Each structure stands twice: as structure tokens, then as C-alpha cells.
Amino acid sequence: MMVLAIDAGNSRIKWGVADDSGWLRRDALNTADAAQIGEAIKDLPVPRHIVISNVAGNVVRDALTLALAPLNVAPTWVQGRAEQCGVKSGYADPAQLGSDRWAGVIAAWRRFGATGAACIVVNAGTTMTVDALSSDGVFLGGVIVPGLELMRESLTRGTAQLKHAPGVFCYFPDSTADAIMSGAINALAGAIERMRAYMHETGQGAPLIVLSGGAALLIEPRLNAPHELVDNLVLEGLLDIARESI
């Protein structure tokens, strides 16, 4: 079974083609270049199924639809559901949950649910989502915060003296650029740690942190709790969804 999975985010479109043995290729392009997806996959086998998460709006959806039309495969556009792939949604309106978040918690459940531990599912991209998944597969809810670059840019846009410049993380920053970078990373790690505390306080035990996204490698060293780094977690969840639907 050949599957094309596409995760269309606000800044990047991640995609992968997989068969029964696993991923044949994974790559990415800028969201603004959505119309080029057909060119990117032209040398790969024609997929039998296409599954897409799109949180980038109707313009991107239309561009993907047009670019993929020559494949003659009707895409499955993922959206949050009350239940899917063993995960139950606790969202007030399951359909309002972002498709990327839904795919992410499904991937975490499929990979780590058997351990018996609850999970905190983190996708650190343009925004960072921090979602709580119980040990029995219930998505409890989560938070959305600005991602690393949005935090840094907000400071440079909103202040006269703070300029956008490269910085590194350090415990005691002694330059403005390092102070901004360190503050943003600490804020992101703090959001994850607060969710972990909330889950512990509400009887969810000691959850495993499942971390993915472009800023994951910067956040990971700041976490003082058990965690797993998963590359392209949303794509993994999309592949799970595609395989269950067949």
C-alpha cells in the first residue's frame, strides 16, 4: 500500500511517501510553494492513498488540490474526530481541533500507549502545541503558545531597543541576543513543564513527553523529565490514519 502523507503547516509543508515497509522518502517545502508538491513527488511511485493535514487555510488547500489532481487519487483531509485510531477526544467540539494536533496525539498513542504512561504531545513549530493524552488514550486538551521565532520576532517588533539578531541559549545571558533566545527557549520549556505538573496534579502520573517540530532540538536539553524525540510526528500520525482507513 503506497501512501502520500502531507502535513501543511503555517511555514512549511512536510510530506512523505511510505509503503508497507516504511517511509521511502520524506522532505519539506515552504508553504508558499504548495503548488510545487506535484513536482517534488514526480519521481516517486503513484500513491494509492493521499492523506493531508492542512492548517494553512483554503488557499493552500486549493493549491494542493490542483497540484495533486494529476494523480487521480481523492485526498483524505484529516480533521479532529470524537474517536479515531484508538484515541478519544475530550475537546468540546472535536472537529475544531487542529488536524495536526489530532494526528500528533494519534501518533503518540500508537507509539507509546502500550507503555501505560500518559503523554504530553509537543509540536514545536511556528506555534507550539502542548497536548495532554491520558494513559487510556483520551485526549484531555492542551495549550497553544507562540513558537520560538514568533516569540523572538514579537520582541523586536514591539520594542524600540531590542533588535533581531542571532543568539544562543545560556543560563546567564550577557548579551541582548542571547537574552532573547534564552528567554524564548525557557518559556517554551516552561509551558511543557507546567502541563506536566497539571497532569501530575490531576492523577495522570508522570507523563512521557513526546517532542517533535523544528525547535525540538533546542528545547530538548532544557527538559528535566522523561522524553522521546520523534521526527515528523504529524506525518507518522497521518500514516496511522491512512492505514486504519483501508
Distance CA 218, CA 227 (A): 14
Strand pairing category for 12-19 and 3-8: antiparallel
Confidence at 1, pLDDT banded by 50, 70, 90: confident
**For 3-77, CATH number?**
3.30.420.40
- Indicate the CATH number of 114-148+169-232 among 3.30.420.40, 3.50.50.60, 3.40.605.10, 1.20.1260.10: 3.30.420.40
Residue 163 has pLDDT above 90, yes or no: no
Q: Which of 7, 19, 100, 136 is an active site residue?
A: 100
Distance CA 242, CA 6 (A): 11
Distance CA 151, CA 140 (A): 26
Distance CA 164, CA 81 (A): 40
How does pLDDT run across 43-102, given as a tens digit for each residue?
999 999 999 999 999 999 999 999 999 999 999 999 999 999 999 999 999 999 999 999
What is the pLDDT, as a whole number, of residue 246?
67
Residue 165 has pLDDT above 70, yes or no: no
How many CA atoms are closer than 13 Å to the CA of 215, on its beta-carbon side?
A: 27
How does pLDDT run across 174-205, given as a tens digit for each residue?
998 899 899 999 999 999 999 999 999 999 98
Q: Locate CATH 3.30.420.40 in the chain.
A: 3-77, 114-148+169-232
How does pLDDT run across 215-242, given as a tens digit for each residue?
999 999 999 999 999 999 999 999 999 9
What is the pLDDT, as a whole number, of residue 133?
98
Distance CA 99, CA 81 (A): 9
Q: Within its chain, how far is the Cα of 199 from the centroid? A: 20
What is the pLDDT, as a whole number, of residue 219?
97
What is the pLDDT, as a whole number, of residue 38?
93
Q: What is the mean pLDDT of the chain?
A: 94
Asked if 105 contacts 121 with a C-beta cutoff of 8 angstroms, the reply is yes
58: three-class secondary structure by DSSP = helix
What is the pLDDT, as a whole number, of residue 114?
83
C-alpha cell at 4: 502520500
Is 136 catalytic? The answer is no
Q: At what angle do helices 176-201 and 148-158 cross, to 10 degrees?
A: 130
What is the pLDDT, as a whole number, of residue 161?
57
Task: Give the residue among 135, 67, 56, 157 at the shortest CA–CA distance from 100.
Answer: 56
What is the pLDDT, as a whole number, of residue 162?
56
Count the neighbouring beta carbons within 10 Å of the beta carbon of residue 28.
Answer: 17
Residue 164 has pLDDT above 80, yes or no: no
